Structures are given as structure tokens and as C-alpha cells.
């Protein structure tokens, strides 16, 4: 019911694909809709990443980006979510003439228009830099996020294949983000190890996307704890990309015992064919999480969200109203 790590392009509905493909004359392929979900036993990260090809083709106009953002907001609201931070990389949507600013404004427009129909639901946007992109292009993403400060663009991220370049390679980009006092979350320690998480901290990360390969019981774990960063776990996605072998390898108890804050998220609702309800269910079954522990993860999500203190207070009230229902749904 709260998702802090949710990619827009990995969370398009089947209806979104059908609508946009028909409108733009794009073929969805013979195996649609199977080709938008990862197979039950996803063989590799490459197969996982292939699922982003069709969204990349379809999301090259302002209209389409606004459409899918609205659609996602409405779906989350109907599913009983109270808050979400939706992320996407504007630089992936510039193949047909949109600027990064156009892309960000289109997603904002879709978000704002859908939120008008969704009382007691809040959502914000995070703009992702990409590891494969040239430095100037990533710097532009930071500039766009800075220009949109005060809107529902609330943070920047670094996403993409970690093995390509270490986080230290992006120092100049995050120095600019720090100069602008932007909120920063960075994908780190998903495909690689603890060093990458330390570099993300050097780059000013306040939250770490995934981070499951942190060496908790070492000086790295001490540093993560002292830095009071929060980790955005996305368990099913980690199993599919072969970052972890099974749910019992999610280092949830290690992080909790160390006193490091973590949250439970879905990463990609369509590609991973999951949602926050399913992620909690898997972890409750695997680790016998108590009701109090489940509540504490949702409180972490609120405390570490990139939103105002006033909104956090509202979210806590809404969580308290909905928590018993949520818990009975995920704990069966
Ligand atoms: Zn992610």
C-alpha cells in the first residue's frame, strides 16, 4: 500500500500496451501479453531487461507518457495504496524529439490529473539518471529535477546496469544534485557488492535502491547504519534478475538486527508481475514477520519518503486507518 521503488515503464498495464499500440500502429508481437512479464523462471538479467523494449518504443510522446502515468496512479489508488513514488528516466523518452523537460512535464501532467480523481492518495515522481548514458545527458536530468523543484518531482536516482560503471564514475552528476539540495536515491548493491553501496553513500544517497548485497556485519554495515539511510528492498525482482536465489536469501533479519531501516517495494509491477501486497506476503511467509514488524516497514516508508512533514503526518493517519485490513490481506 506504499511503494517507494516503482518504475513507470515496468508497470504499464496490458490495457495501456493495447491502447497505445493501436493508437500508434505499433506491433506488440505474437507472444503478447506474455512478452511484457518475465517468465516464471526467468533465466537471466538480459531476459528481464528485454521486457523494457516495448515500453521504450511506445513511450516517446508526451501524450503517451501522461497516459501511462495517469493509468498507474489510478490503478494504485484502486488497489488501496496510500502513497507511491513513481520513477522514470526522462532521457529514455527523447528518441522522437521530446526533450527531457518535455518528458518530465508530461509525466507530471498525467500524475496531477489522475490525483484529482484519487482522494486520500498521494504520489510523487523521481527522475532517474542512467548508468549507460553520457555525462552531459545525466547532468541534464539533474538540471530538469532542479527546475521542477516545488512540483511533484521530489528526487533523483541512478538506475541501469551496475556492472557498467561504478557509482564513483557519477561523482560530478551527484555533486550537482547535492549542490541543488535534491533528494537522492541510488540503485546500488543489487547486481554488485557492498563497495557500490559505499560509493552511493559518497554520492549523497539518502536511500539505496535494493542494496541487498551490503556486508551488514562489517564496517560497511556500520557506515550504512550511522548514515541513517533506508534500503528499498524489491525481493521478487531480485529473484528474477538472479541477484538473490530465493526469498529466504533476502537479508531482512540481518538488516533488522543491525538496526538499518528497510522498506518493501515492487520495482516493476508488470515486468515482475507483482505488487506491494504480494511482496509482503512472500516475506511474511518466509520470515514469520509479526504484525508489528510489518507495520514498522510501512512506517519506514513514510518516514523516508521524499515528501513534506505535513504529508507524512497525513500518511501515518491513513496508514493507521487501513493497516488492519492490509495486514489481514497479506498475512493469509
Ligand atoms: Zn529499480
The residues annotated with a catalytic role in the active site are 190
Q: Report the alpha-carbon distance of residue 97 to residue 115 in Å, rounded.
A: 27
**In-domain check, residue 329:** no
**In-domain check, residue 327:** no
**In-domain check, residue 332:** no
Q: Report the alpha-carbon distance of residue 26 to residue 322 in Å, rounded.
A: 41
**In-domain check, residue 328:** no
Distance 5 CA to ligand 1 centre (A): 6
**In-domain check, residue 175:** yes
Q: What is the pTM of this model?
A: 0.98
Task: State the residue range of the domain holding 181.
Answer: 2-317
Distance 74 CA to ligand 1 centre (A): 21
**In-domain check, residue 227:** yes
Distance 159 CA to ligand 1 centre (A): 7
Task: Give burial (CB, 10 Å; 0-12/13-18/19+) of 64.
Answer: buried
**In-domain check, residue 322:** no
Q: At 279, which CATH number?
A: 3.20.20.140
Q: Report the alpha-carbon distance of residue 261 to residue 210 in Å, rounded.
A: 12
**In-domain check, residue 239:** yes
Task: Give burial (CB, 10 Å; 0-12/13-18/19+) of 74.
Answer: middle
Q: Report the alpha-carbon distance of residue 300 to residue 291 in Å, rounded.
A: 14
- Per-residue pLDDT of the chain (332 residues), as tens digits, is 999 999 999 999 999 999 999 999 999 999 999 999 998 788 877 788 889 999 999 999 999 999 999 999 999 999 999 999 999 999 999 999 999 999 999 999 999 999 999 999 999 999 999 999 999 999 999 999 999 999 999 999 999 988 778 888 999 999 999 999 999 999 999 888 999 999 999 999 999 999 999 999 999 999 999 999 999 999 999 999 999 999 999 999 999 999 999 999 999 999 999 999 999 999 999 999 999 999 999 999 999 999 999 999 999 999 999 999 999 999 98
- The total domain count for the chain is 1
Distance 153 CA to ligand 1 centre (A): 17
Cell of 11: 508497470
Amino acid at each position: 500500500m506504499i511503494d517507494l521503488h516503482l518504475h513507470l515503464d515496468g508497470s504499464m498495464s496490458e490495457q495501456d500496451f493495447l491502447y497505445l499500440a493501436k493508437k500508434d500502429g505499433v506491433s506488440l508481437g505474437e507472444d503478447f501479453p506474455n512478452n511484457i512479464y518475465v517468465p516464471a523462471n526467468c533465466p537471466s538479467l538480459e531476459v528481464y531487461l528485454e521486457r523494457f523494449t516495448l515500453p521504450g518504443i511506445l513511450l516517446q510522446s508526451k501524450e503517451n507518457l501522461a497516459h501511462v502515468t495517469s493509468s498507474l496512479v489510478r490503478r494504485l489508488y484502486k488497489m488501496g495504496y496510500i502513497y507511491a513514488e513513481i520513477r522514470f528516466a526522462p532521457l529514455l523518452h527523447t528518441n522522437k524529439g521530446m526533450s527531457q523537460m518535455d518528458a518530465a512535464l508530461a509525466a507530471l501532467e498525467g500524475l496531477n490529473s489522475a490525483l484529482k480523481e484519487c482522494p486520500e492518495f498521494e504520489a510523487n515522481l523521481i527522475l532517474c539518471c542512467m548508468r549507460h548514458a553520457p555525462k552531459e545527458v545525466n547532468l541534464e536530468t539533474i538540471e530538469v529535477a532542479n527546475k521542477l523543484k516545488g512540483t511533484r518531482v521530489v528526487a533523483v536516482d541512478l538506475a541501469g546496469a551496475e556492472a557498467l560503471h561504478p557509482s564513483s564514475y557519477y561523482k560530478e552528476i551527484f555533486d550537482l544534485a547535492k549542490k541543488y539540495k535534491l533528494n537522492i536515491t541510488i540503485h546500488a548493491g543489487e547486481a554488485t557488492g557492498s563497495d557500490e553501496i559505499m560509493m552511493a553513500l559518497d554520492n549523497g544517497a539518502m536511500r539505496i535502491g535494493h542494496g541487498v548485497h551490503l556486508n551488514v556485519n562489517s564496517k560497511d554495515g556500520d557506515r550504512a547504519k550511522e548514515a541513517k539511510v533506508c534500503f528499498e528492498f524489491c525481493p521478487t525482482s531480485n529473484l528474477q534478475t538472479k541477484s538473490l536465489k530465493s526469498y529466504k536469501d533476502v537479508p531482512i533479519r540481518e538488516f533488522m538486527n543491525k538496526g538499518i531501516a528497510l522498506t518493501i517495494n515492487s520495482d516493476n509491477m508488470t515486468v515482475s508481475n507483482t505488487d506491494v501486497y504480494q511482496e509482503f506476503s512472500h516475506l511474511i511467509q518466509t520470515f514469520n514477520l509479526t504484525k508489528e514488524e510489518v507495520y514498522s516497514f510501512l512506517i519506514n516508508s513514510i518516514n523516508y519518503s521524499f515528501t513534506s512533514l505535513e504529508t507524512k503526518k497525513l500518511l501515518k493517519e491513513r496508514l493507521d486507518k487501513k493497516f488492519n485490513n492490509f495486514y489481514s490481506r497479506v498475512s493469509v
